[in-house]
Amino acid sequence: MDLAWERSATKWRHRIFGVVVMAILIILMVIFHGEASKEWMTYQKTYNEKLASRLNKPEFRNTPVRINQIWLPQLNTTDRCTTCHVGLENPLFANEPQPFTTHPGDFLKTHPVDKFGCTVCHQGDGQAVTVEATHGAVHHLNRQLLTKEFVQASCVKCHVDLYDLSITTDHFPWGSTFLEGRRLSFQYGCRGCHKINGEGGSIGPELSGFGSRTELAFLLIHDLGHIEGPHMMAQWEYEHFLNPQKVVPGDPKLNLAPTIMPNFGFKPDQARALTIYMLGLRNPKVDAIPYEYIAQKKIAQASSSQPGSLK
């Protein structure tokens, strides 16, 4: 009798405990979700306000806000960037601040948003809807957002002939920093020690496919103790080009000598170009771009068939 009562009381206690825990979790989720959604909602409302006053159409103020999402199973991406970057395809927003600015260049015309999305070029966390979760150094992210010239490290995924030495900045000005890095890699004889796409020595590690590595794979085998900037792959490479011995000083206690990679005395923009070139050494097996996304027109062909269009 006593035992049965005891058992049912315990069962009830467990049930009540379970319900309370669930309730707390739900409350926390609501609060968290509320905070996170405020940010993008504010951007969209601001955009609608601006659009309404630009076009003198007050009804645009009432456009309902929503999460915009580009789901591309073939690229394995789900991009919500346009939830905040709402004005990308609107030429009226060319002089507005981020996140409203019109996208630079013709990139969204040559790579339609509904087919390409954003992260195939920019990487980052496509599903994030806060600035913090994808911009700047995000420590848990395996593919950090690529901004400014760093985006050039992605073009090679599909424009594979960028590895072709006959292609220069004249043919593909949008890849000028990547191509400068490639040029420096020949000028400074990196292939004396490193194998790159089948060519080079084996004194240093092979660099083919370097840019397709995940941050995690990189961080596991690199010492970040001597890096001044944020602890990220690109930053490590950049500082390593500026001064290899500072980043890989060895350890006298363990009888480890400093790295034998020479300090070439690179200027910051040279180190940046080399970093972008390194990040642009892709591994097609990892990137897994479907065939229909690979640019069919060869770059040199494109520029000769459409004179002037590549300026």
Residues between 90 and 119 with contacts to ligand HEC, criterion CB under 6 A: 98-99, 101, 103-104, 107, 110-111, 113, 116-119
Side chain identity, residue 65: V
Q: Is 82 in the site for ligand HEC (CB under 6 A)?
A: yes
Of residues 77, 235, 259, 283, which one binds ligand HEC by CB under 6 A?
259
Does 126 contact ligand HEC by CB under 6 A?
yes
Contacting residue, 72, 86, 120, 271, with ligand HEC by CB under 6 A: 120
Spell out, one character per residue from 198 to 217, where the chain touches ligand HEC: x when CB under 6 A holds, - when not: -----xxx-x----------
Phi, psi of 78 (to 5 degrees): -135, 100
Q: What is the DSSP string of 187-228?
A: HTTGGGT--BTTBS-SSS---TTGGGS-HHHHHHHS--TT--
Phi-psi region of 213 (alpha: psi -120 to 50; beta: other; left: phi over 0): beta
Question: Which residue in the set 72, 84, 179, 232 belongs to the binding site for ligand HEC (CB under 6 A)?
Answer: 84
Tokens of 268: 């910051």
Q: Which of residues 229-248 bind ligand HEC (CB under 6 A)?
A: 237, 244, 248
99 touches 90 (CB < 8 A): no
Among 85, 182, 272, 282, binds ligand HEC (CB under 6 A): 85
User: Measured between alpha carbons, how far apart are the two ends of the chain, in Å?
Assistant: 90
Tell me which of 278, 279, 280, 282 binds ligand HEC, using CB under 6 A. Answer: 278
The reply to whether 261 sits near ligand HEC by the rule CB under 6 A is yes
Closest approach of Cβ 24 to ligand HEC, in Å? Answer: 27
Distances in Å between the Cα of 33 and the Cα atoms of 36, 129, 217, 222 are 5, 10, 31, 36
Q: How many angstroms separate the CA atoms of 262 and 203, rounded? A: 12
Structure-block tokens of residue 182: 């490639």
Element containing residue 70 per DSSP (H, E): strand 70-72
Nearer to ligand HEC, 63 or 235 (CB): 235
What is the rounded distance in angstroms from the CA atom of residue 42 to the CA atom of residue 23?
A: 28
Q: What is the DSSP letter of 256?
A: B
Query: Looking at 86, 154, 239, 273, which residue binds ligand HEC (CB under 6 A)?
Result: 154
Query: Do residues 125 and 136 touch, judged by C-beta distance below 8 A?
Result: no
Which residue in 168, 116, 133 sits closest to 37, CA to CA?
133
- The span from the CA of 289 to the CA of 263, in Å, is 36
**Under rule CB under 6 A, residue 297 binds ligand HEC:** yes
Is residue 182 close enough to count as binding ligand HEC by CB under 6 A? no
Nearest to 301 by CA among 156, 174, 171, 165: 171
User: Min. distance of Cβ 214 from ligand HEC in angstroms?
Assistant: 13
Number of chain residues interacting with ligand HEC (CB under 6 A): 77
Complex with ligand HEC: residue 11 or 262, whichever CB lies closer: 262
Using CA atoms, how far apart are residues 260 and 250, in angstroms rounded to an integer? 10
According to CB under 6 A, which one of 41, 52, 65, 131 is a site residue for ligand HEC? 131
Using the rule CB under 6 A, give the single segment among 12-20, 52-60, 61-69, 192-200 that binds ligand HEC: 192-200
- Looking at 44, 48, 185, 212, which residue binds ligand HEC (CB under 6 A)? 185
Restricting to residues 30-59, name those near ligand HEC by CB under 6 A: 39-40, 43
Beta carbon of residue 276, minimum distance to ligand HEC (angstroms, whole number): 11
Which member of 18, 192, 250, 268 binds ligand HEC (CB under 6 A)? 192
